[in-house]
Amino acid sequence: MIVVSNAGPLIALARIGHLSLLHRLYGELLIPSAVQAEVTRARPDSPGAREVDLADWITVVGVSDQLALSLLRERLDLGESEAIILALEQAAKLLLIDEAKGRRLAQTRGLANIGTVGILILAKRRGLVDLVTPLLEQLITSGFRMDEALFQKARSLAAET
Residue range 3-115, CATH number: 3.40.50.1010
Predicted model pTM: 0.94
Question: Which parts of the chain register pLDDT below 50?
Answer: none
Q: What's the pLDDT at 78?
A: 96
How far is Cα 54 from Cα 74, in angstroms, rounded to an integer? 32
Q: What's the pLDDT at 43?
A: 67
How far is Cα 26 from Cα 94, in angstroms, rounded to an integer? 10
Residue 99 backbone dihedrals phi, psi, to 5 degrees? -65, 125
Q: What's the pLDDT at 70?
A: 95
Residue 130 sits at the vertex; the CA angle it makes with 23 and 155, to the nearest 5 degrees, is 100
pLDDT in tens, 28-43: 999 999 999 989 876 6
Which candidate, 1, 8, 2, places its Cα nearest to that of 119? 8
Whether the CB-CB separation of 94 and 3 falls below 8 Å is answered with yes
- Domain coordinates of the chain in residue numbers? 3-115, 117-157
